[in-house]
Chains A and B, each alone.
Chain A
């Protein structure tokens, strides 16, 4: 019983021995421990062996370093200043393309109006028409009249420069300027049969947007692809500023 008491006591004091060696116990603890050590052989042996161990460790010297471990800051390869504006320009191009596609998808762009006001009507000369209906060969009759007018020595059938053809005009809009006194010559046109309205000819007229949306889409798409490729190329070639070690071998 007494042995167990002392053993328990020794266990409590032995926990103080390590900080006692380092001088890290309170004065009260130090006094209690030293009083116990005076009467306990086992704890004195414990203190002695631990002091020897710590003494050995204190004599272990530090190894010399195999090399220097200084650090250097790597100079960055010319960071391309074009990257930021290039990214913005690519984003704008992609956004414009998205707007164009969305507008095309939902048909928000102004479309071409009725061809009657846009495309020049291939007017049918009523005089010629009546003559043509009388003759089984309107074409030959037309040519004969053309030849007669030319033989008259008058000014030759003038073909005045026509205004520039726009995309909305049809080639049939080109007509020669009429000579004074001569019925305007119009190219032979298929006469409307059985009273069909002139507007039926507009069936063949092309419907679409007023603006060249398809061309714009293609152009913006091309620009966006080129800029995206340029952005990726410049971005991959950039060199971030990093810190590298300098290996000074001794």
Chain B
């Protein structure tokens, strides 16, 4: 069934159709939450909260990219969680630096073999060192593959802001990897 039809049925209250959309996009949503929050448990909670919120407000989806709409919801959930963590930090920074991925190694996919484990870990640390706004656009653009327009929809920013955040984020990440002698 086409995505448009699934979305239309979901808006009419068909939860089975909505769960098909969940099955399609849950990996993207979870990974965005994981990269933003750097903690698997927090990412699970944010992902579930995002899908629940999406179901409750499905009638508010006006069209366009459904993926971008979902990612905007989870981005907001992550933003709220980061603010909460900032107010009440629960995980020591050292623990985050030791395991920036937040996941045990066994959950890594096969494609990760193409990227060395060490480099992958450094990239995660580099992403963790960015400002949240820059981290978000880097993940959406270079990991999730969204277009500039979709990123603007997710973040609620203008195209010019997306461009500048992307440029600065890439530059900072490049400097971090160069410092770690990966470039």
What is the interface of chain A, defined by CB distance below 8 A to chain B? 15, 17-19, 22, 24, 49-50, 52-54, 56-73, 243, 245
A16 to chain B minimum Cβ distance, whole angstroms, is 9
- State whether B51 touches A18 (Cβ < 8 A): no
Please pick, from B30, B55, B123, the residue contacting A243 in the complex, using a CB distance under 8 A: B55
Quick one: CB contact mask for B98-119 with A, threshold 8 Å, 1 for yes? Answer: 0000010001110110110001
**B87 on the A face (CB < 8 A):** no
Give the size range of B's interface with the partner: 35 or more
Please pick, from A15, A50, A69, A243, the residue contacting B26 in the complex, using a CB distance under 8 A: A69
Residues of the B chain whose Cβ atoms lie less than 8 Å from the Cβ of A73:
15
Besides A19-B167, A49-B178, A65-B26, 4 new A-B residue pairs in contact (Cβ under 8 A), listed by A number = A54-B142, A61-B112, A63-B34, A71-B55
Contact sample, A vs B, 16 pairs, CB 8 Å cutoff: A15-B167, A18-B163, A22-B166, A50-B174, A53-B174, A56-B123, A56-B177, A57-B173, A58-B143, A60-B115, A66-B44, A69-B51, A70-B51, A71-B18, A243-B56, A245-B52
- State whether A71 touches B119 (Cβ < 8 A): no
Select the residue from A49, A50, A65 with max chain B CB neighbours within 10 A.
A65
Residues of the B chain whose Cβ atoms lie less than 8 Å from the Cβ of A71:
15, 18-19, 22, 51-52, 55
Main secondary structure of the interface of A (DSSP, over half): mixed
Quick one: CB contact mask for B2-45 with A, threshold 8 Å, 1 for yes? Answer: 00000000000001001100110011111100100000100010
- State whether B27 touches A64 (Cβ < 8 A): yes
Residues of the A chain whose Cβ atoms lie less than 8 Å from the Cβ of B115:
56, 59-60
Given contacts A64-B107, A65-B26, contact A22 B148 (CB under 8 A): yes
Please pick, from A59, A62, A63, A68, the residue contacting B23 in the complex, using a CB distance under 8 A: A68
What is the interface of chain B, defined by CB distance below 8 A to chain A? 15, 18-19, 22-23, 26-31, 34, 40, 44, 47-48, 51-52, 55-56, 103, 107-109, 111-112, 114-115, 119-120, 123, 138, 141-143, 148, 163-164, 166-167, 170-171, 173-174, 177-178, 182-183
Residues of the B chain whose Cβ atoms lie less than 8 Å from the Cβ of A22:
141, 148, 166
A26 to chain B minimum Cβ distance, whole angstroms, is 12
- State whether A18 touches B167 (Cβ < 8 A): yes
